Amino acid sequence: MALKLFNTLSRSVREFTPLDPAGKKVGLYCCGPTVYDYAHIGNWRTFVFADLVRRALEFSGYEVQHVMNITDVEDKIIKRVREQKTTLPEFTGKFEAAFLDDLKALGCREPHQKPRATAHIAEIIALIEKLVARGVAYQAADGSVYFSIEKYRGCGCCYGQLLKLNLDEMRAGERVASDEYEKESVADFALWKAYGSEDGEVAWDSPWGKGRPGWHIECSAMSIKALGETFDLHLGGEDLKFPHHEDEIAQSEGATGKPFVKFWLHGAHLLVEGKKMSKSLGNFFTLRDLQAKGFTGREVRFLLLSSHYRETFNFTFDGLAGARTSLARIDECLAKLRELSGGGGGDANSGLLGAFQTALEEDLNISAAWAAVFEWVRETNKRIAENSLSRPDAAAALAGWEKVDSVLGIGVVTEAEVPAEISALAEARTTAKKAKDFKRADALRDDLKSQGWLIEDTAKGPKLKKH
């Protein structure tokens, strides 16, 4: 069986085969966060999708090199650094650390490389120099260096590989200095932005004078450095197709003369209760906002993984409550299986695994994958109730589940998900019990219960459980 994925380049579902002649190694680059604020749940939908792609590739036996950059210099960041009268590293460092904490809380595997744009200024300059030398970039009167779409197309290259752009009808030839712009204003875009006083302390020397890189060239330089001039997979949210990814292709292919990426994958957007997320509508949530409402990263992950990556996902609080119920069903079944298996290992039972793999390989058909999981839960519960599941059966079922969960990443409740104040209350209760202060111990148990946590005294000590 082979993994099939929707390639935005061909606009069709195609069998994935890596560039590696040995068919083993896969390079995957996903545009990372712009660290100017806490990532919101829309961003998280895209990063959880990238984690799913990586895990699916690993499940299929590939050795993945997963790269996710940190955009730590671009227009929005500079604006906030100026407004908040702080320095770039101080400002971005805080949000980068928060991002990595949230990534962990959502059960995402850590990317193997997390390059920062500010640590790649030399590579960025070298790439722009190549583009200038090849005649597809020029320094304009404003001091900035721009990519020339006309010159690029004149070399027989195609601008508009991801989106069908009718360049003849568009206002080509104009220049845009900002990192984000609309399709209607397709134009020469900035590779190197000449210094302006609004940039404050954020500037580097270059052959074109003091300035800073444009956002698009950052990703070209970092991905080429990490994965080579041509690599397997490039991911991002659908909004990045234009101009960001289109510009990345133009810069990279314009500089190297080689195809940049074999497979482009784009995740659809997330809406909240049917509307575009916005602070003014009061429907804007970060992971931290949801955690403050008592939800866990695991529950949010489950919800974000519940629909196909190419379908717009409607986030609702009912959906999040449903995620909690569904996880409880899985947990209950797993707990019974663990008890029955007596902790022994076994060979993976192929029933669940086969159905799950078939679904996954069909362009990550997650709905069919979950259907296989819940059918398995139902069947397993039935067999347990009928006493027809032997110890080796239970061990084999668990081994099969573990393989499935190597992709879903929801099976384990990590310690990190118990909030610090809850752990502190549990510890205080243990201390009270040791001191035979049972009144206080009971009061602490009640306190925990009122906050949604049950405490169970087991042979290995007290255990916290969400209720």
Task: Indicate whether 349 belongs to the interface with ligand AMP (CB under 6 A).
Answer: no
Task: Indicate whether 127 belongs to the interface with ligand AMP (CB under 6 A).
Answer: no
For ligand AMP, the closer of residues 239 and 402 by Cβ is 239
Contacts of residue 429, defined as CB under 8 A and 6 or more positions apart, other chains included, come to: 440, 441, 444, 445, 448, 455, 462
Q: Yes or no: say if 97 and 116 are a contact pair by the CB < 8 Å rule.
A: no
219: partner contacted, choices Zn ion, ligand AMP, none (Cβ within 5-8 A by kind): Zn ion
Rounded CA gap, 270 and 268, in Å? Answer: 7
Task: Indicate whether 31 belongs to the interface with ligand AMP (CB under 6 A).
Answer: yes
User: What is the CA angle 100-249-135, rounded to 5?
Assistant: 125
CB of 244 to ligand AMP, least distance (A): 8
Q: Which residue from 28, 31, 191, 224 is in contact with Zn ion, where contact means CB under 5 A?
A: 31
Q: Yes or no: say if 234 and 202 are a contact pair by the CB < 8 Å rule.
A: no
Task: Indicate whether 117 belongs to the interface with Zn ion (CB under 5 A).
Answer: no
What 3-state DSSP class applies to 286?
strand
Q: Which residue from 27, 33, 214, 243 is in contact with ligand AMP, where contact means CB under 6 A?
A: 33
Strands 211-213 and 261-267: unpaired
Task: Indicate whether 360 belongs to the interface with Zn ion (CB under 5 A).
Answer: no
Rounded CA gap, 67 and 226, in Å? Answer: 7
Task: Indicate whether 68 belongs to the interface with Zn ion (CB under 5 A).
Answer: no
Strand extents, DSSP E, 296-411: 313-315
Binding region for Zn ion (CB under 5 A) out of 27-35, 167-175, 424-432, 433-441:
27-35
272-331 residues in contact with ligand AMP (CB under 6 A) are 277
Q: Which long-range contacts (CB under 8 A, 24 or more apart) does 10-17 make?
A: 13/362, 13/363, 14/263, 16/57, 16/232, 16/233, 16/263
Site string for Zn ion, 212-241 (x = CB under 5 A): -------x----------------------
For Zn ion, the closer of residues 223 and 307 by Cβ is 223
Give the residue at shortest CB distance from ligand AMP: 237
Residue 231 bridge partners (DSSP): 261
269: partner contacted, choices Zn ion, ligand AMP, none (Cβ within 5-8 A by kind): ligand AMP
Rounded CA gap, 392 and 401, in Å? Answer: 14
What 3-state DSSP class applies to 67?
strand
For ligand AMP, the closer of residues 213 and 236 by Cβ is 236
Q: Which residue from 269, 329, 336, 433 is in contact with ligand AMP, where contact means CB under 6 A?
A: 269
Q: Yes or no: say if 358 and 367 are a contact pair by the CB < 8 Å rule.
A: no
Task: Indicate whether 175 belongs to the interface with ligand AMP (CB under 6 A).
Answer: no
Task: Indicate whether 214 belongs to the interface with ligand AMP (CB under 6 A).
Answer: no
231-260 residues in contact with ligand AMP (CB under 6 A) are 236-237, 239-240
Interface residues with Zn ion (CB under 5 A) are: 31, 219
Interface residues with ligand AMP (CB under 6 A) are: 31, 33-34, 42-43, 45-46, 236-237, 239-240, 269-270, 277
